[in-house]
Structure 1
Amino acid sequence: MTPAQSMLHEATGLTLSRSAVDRAIRHRMEQSPAANQDAYLDRMTPEELTALVELVVVPESWFYRDPQAFQAALEFIRARLATNANHMVRILSVPCASGEEPYTMAMVLADAGVPRASYIIDAFDISPGCVERAKSGIYGRNAFRSQDLGFRDRHFGSDGEDYRISDALRQQVRFKQGNLLEFDLGARTGHYDVIFCRNLLIYFDKPTTKAAIAKLEALLGEGGLLFAGYAEVPSFCQHGFTPLQYPQAFGLRKESARPVPAVKPAAKAAPRTARRAASPAVPAPAPKQAHRLAPVPVPAPSAPAAIDLLAEARRLADLGQLKEAENTSRDHLAQSPDSAEAYFILGLVNELTNKRQLAEDYWKRCIYLQPDHYEALCHLALLAETNNDHGAATALKARAARVYKRQQGS
């Protein structure tokens, strides 16, 4: 790492590419008398470091992003309150970006009739600018990407060309500036029933990932749920978490936790976001004694046969029927030899059966056929880290990060 990369890594925990760091420094130097980068770094102040961090964090988000996670959280919270109506449910969102994630959770709970006195949401982000924007509760049209925008009519008022969230929901979320890695656990140990920490670990190196997961494990209460990003599920499973069998929610619990109550998915799902074209829900398999949330019903397929086989392969993998998923993926490849998604599923199946070399080979075929396959890039990066190939891991993470940014902007 360059001195600038090391400085930002120490401040944020993020593993950033040299080009991204140099670009941010050049931008800040336009407002600085420093003649070169060394002079700029020598004059670094806490205030300037904060401004530099603002340029390298990835704060973009939108309401109802990956809605299955919010639906799974709602069902869990309902079951917990049904057991103890006097329990105060505590929810954590970290990083919270500009507040779209915690406000979405508040809207989901409000629409479900959960009393406001029954829950509170804490939301942290390393960026002071993001926190201030979240506190304002004002959002432009880009924050509303769901196909169903009924929630905007229910919970927002107009603010010129923008929209302001209702005061009632703003009061349910407590925003603070903070870095997960620097959390003082203190009274927060076991404090939260539900934690959202999505798409943060993909920017961390292996030691930082381990440290972050240890913090989250300490913050999560007994029997609580944690929601991660798709590509982060394997990292959590390597550090004492068990995945929930709830498609596309990417939820986990601590392996030592008491059983969570089974809940029936609601008939009406939360509004759907504009999702990536290829995003199968194939989390790591739960141990035999794992307690599961009830899965979302799978509608009867009605697509052509080749697509049916791929959908069936995903469904079988979701159910942990790995051999059947593998055979069905191969049947699909017999009809569609250039299916990147089939190779991706084969990679997952082989990873989950500890055939890592085969998994790597399949994922490499996947990105050969579809170079911007985000999930395959993330899994290859995690595998490279496991093999202590830090150079390859860093390159793959940077490549995945570029794909991630492009997809969010599309």
Structure 2
Amino acid sequence: MRAQAMLRRVTGLTVSRAAADRAIRERMDITGEVNREHYLANLTPAELTELVELVVVPESWLFRDAQAFSVAVEFVQARLALGAGSAGRAARAVRPVRILSVPCAGGEEPYSMAMALCDAGVPRSAFSIDAYDLSPGCVARARAGVYGRNAFRAQDLAFRERYFTSIGNDEYLIDAALREQVRFNQGNLLELDAHGRRYDIIFCRNLLIYFDKPTTKAAIERLSALLADDGILLAGYAEVPSFTQHGFTPLPHRQAFALKKDAAPEPAPPAPPLAAMPRASAGRRAAGHAAAQAPAQAAPRAAARTPARAAPSPAAPTTPTTTAAPGAAAAPGASAAPAARAPAPAALLSQARDLADRGKNKEAIAACQAVLAAAPESAEAYFILGMLSEHAGQAAQAETHWRRCIYLQPDHYEALCHLALLAEQTGDSGGAATLKARAARIFQRRQKSSPLRAEP
């Protein structure tokens, strides 16, 4: 079995060939193995765990994208108030609000939620938080609750004084009571068994972008089963389109990327904004795709890291061509037969998408180049080329293609998301935040203009 296929089977993640090869080389160096085939053929469960650790992406920080925590706190406050009022009992008699964070990385997200609720005066007995991550190493770090400088990227760090103790070397230990508030477990979302528990709030941010289309659908179905019918889900900003295609509706909270199930009622009106909540930082890996040239009929579709999701559009019919039979001669005095017509740019673009979906990257690149030869202003061709370059591990080339894409089409949501990711990965948090804000405004405009938003 190919290394990529093996890692995908174990984790559900779409791992690029470059990332898989890099992880295998690193583990071979550590173990002293010199033969790649022998290494792969003799993987023990323990060694497979170590290999997976090198391809998961545990990057996060405390109060990352803080608007989501503000919305979640308001939801909890409204839920507790509604429960107490309808039951005619004190708040202590209301069932605790259940919150899920998956994947939880090193615990930054669930701990941020716990701090936000405590800052808002929500009793610790009124909420419970479960957190899962595929990586045992991440779960161990989360349970330890020790964070370095990179975990504190929010502009307002007052929470560090309230909930952390300095232990030297720019490291801080989170309050023991908060550690006890969150239950950390190792687990894969696709196999997550909550033992019948349904959650009022689910954080699942920046996970679907690593999945192919079937796995994305399966993950969303699992999340839907875990979410209470009147609950809310907080997604990554590039993942909202995927959720809207699989039974979810965005909620009108600015830059929180909150959703509810399609059939669920609107949540109760939010409580007043929390003044003490830290402001948002730049986002994480972004991806997505929509046919921006078509009239808006639904929310844009999301793509992920691989070209297999780079262009989830239905294939357009191939333009018919006329060719002469081999060896056939024109009749004397007759007009020459019409020359074979090259496919129109739209048909070529559809072919490029289809080829990319099927993993035929060289052919997809050739099709995009043919599109650009006929229509140099095709932003979508540049977007697909960027996806193909990213898949090949050519980040600089991918950035060039995506920047050309947004030059030609400034409102190309998916290209902006990818550029935000690249900016974040290179440490340009300001540039990432600007690109992310642009993408959010574009998505919100599309939602407002979509006919689906008018439905009751």
With the length of structure 2 as denominator, give the TM-score of the two structures: 0.65
1:385 corresponds to 2:305: no
State how many pairs are aligned: 325
- Report what 2:395 is aligned to: none
Structure 2 equivalent of residue 407 of structure 1: 424
Which residue of the partner structure matches residue 221 of structure 1?
Answer: 228
Q: Secondary structure at the match of 2:239?
A: helix
Q: How far apart in 2 are the matches of 1:377 and 1:211?
A: 15
CA–CA distance in 1 between the matches of 2:260 and 2:103? Answer: 19
Q: Shift in Å at residue 272 of structure 1? A: 1.5
Change (3 A) 1:377 1:20: closer
**Aligned 8 A contact 1:92 1:196 in 2:** yes
Quick check: 32-41 or 146-155, which moved more?
32-41
Aligned 1:130-149 pairs, distance under 5 A: 130-149=138-157
The reply to whether residue 155 of structure 1 matches residue 172 of structure 2 is no
Report if the CA contact (8 A) 1:196-1:226 is conserved: yes
Is the CA contact 2:209–2:304 (under 8 Å) kept in the aligned structure 1?
Answer: no
The CA RMSD over aligned residues, in Å, is 3.1
1:354 alignment counterpart: 297
When residues 247 and 19 of structure 1 are mapped into structure 2, their CA distance, relative to the original with a 3 A threshold, is same
Counterpart position of 1:252: 259
The answer to whether the 8 Å contact 2:67/2:280 transfers is no
Alpha-carbon contact 1:12-1:179 (below 8 Å) kept? yes
- The residue aligned with 1:121 is 129
The residue number in structure 2 matching 1:112 is 120
2:189 aligned to 158, 180, 192, which one? 180
State the distance in 1 between where 2:206 and 2:140 align: 21
Residue 168 (structure 1) shift: 1.1
Whether the 8 Å CA contact 1:34–1:40 is kept in 2: the answer is: yes
Contact 2:282 2:424 in 1 (8 A): no
State how far apart, in whole Å, the 1-side matches of 2:163 and 2:291 are: 40
1:126 shift after superposition: 0.4
Give, in angstroms, the shift of residue 33 of structure 1.
4.3
Q: Does structure 2 conserve the Cα–Cα contact (< 8 Å) formed by 1:381 and 1:396? A: no
Q: Which amino acid aligns with 2:179?
A: R
The residue that corresponds to 2:73 in the other structure is 74
Residue-by-residue CA offset, 1:66-99 (whole Å, 9 max, x unaligned): 0010000110110000011312101000000000
The letter for the 2-side match of 1:404 is L
1:63 matched residue in structure 2: 62
Once the 2 structures are TM-superposed, how far is the Cα of residue 35 of structure 1 from its aligned partner? 2.8
> 1:378 and 1:51 mapped to 2: Cα distance?
23
Is 1:90 aligned to 2:98, yes or no? yes
Distance in 1 (alpha carbons) for counterparts of 2:201 and 2:283: 25
| Partner in structure 2 of residue 290 of structure 1 | none
In structure 2, give the amino acid aligned to 1:134.
A
Identity between Structure 1 and Structure 2 (%): 54
- 1:153 and 1:272 map into 2 onto residues whose CA distance is 17
- Kept after mapping to 1: 8 A contact 2:77/2:271: no
Q: Please report how far the alpha carbon of residue 184 of structure 1 lies from its aligned counterpart in structure 2 after TM superposition.
A: 2.5
Larger Rg: 2
Q: How far apart are the structure 2 equivalents of 1:235 and 1:199?
A: 12
Deviates more, 1:252-261 or 1:197-206: 252-261
> What corresponds to 2:11 in structure 1?
12
User: Does the 8 Å CA contact 1:380/1:396 hold for their aligned counterparts?
Assistant: no
5 Å-filtered alignment, 1:321-360, equals 353-354=296-297
Amino acid at match of 2:164: F
CA contact (8 A) 1:9 1:15 kept: yes
Which sections of structure 2, spanning at least 5 residues, go unmatched? 84-90, 315-353, 362-383, 392-397, 399-416, 428-456
* Cα deviation digits, residues 98-157 of structure 1 (max 9, x gap): 000000000000000000000010000000000000000000111000111100001101
Inter-partner Cα distance in structure 2 for 1:396 and 1:246:
34
Amino acid in structure 2 at the alignment position of 1:250: F
Is residue 377–residue 396 contact of structure 1 (8 Å, CA) maintained in 2?
no
- Say whether 1:45 aligns with 2:52: no
Q: Matched residues in 1 for 2:249 and 2:103: separation?
A: 22
Closer/same/farther in 2, CA of residues 133 and 351 from structure 1, 3 Å limit: farther
Q: Is the 8 A contact 1:201 1:232 kept in 2?
A: yes
Q: Is the 8 A contact 1:157 1:164 kept in 2?
A: yes
Q: Give the TM-score normalised by structure 1.
A: 0.72
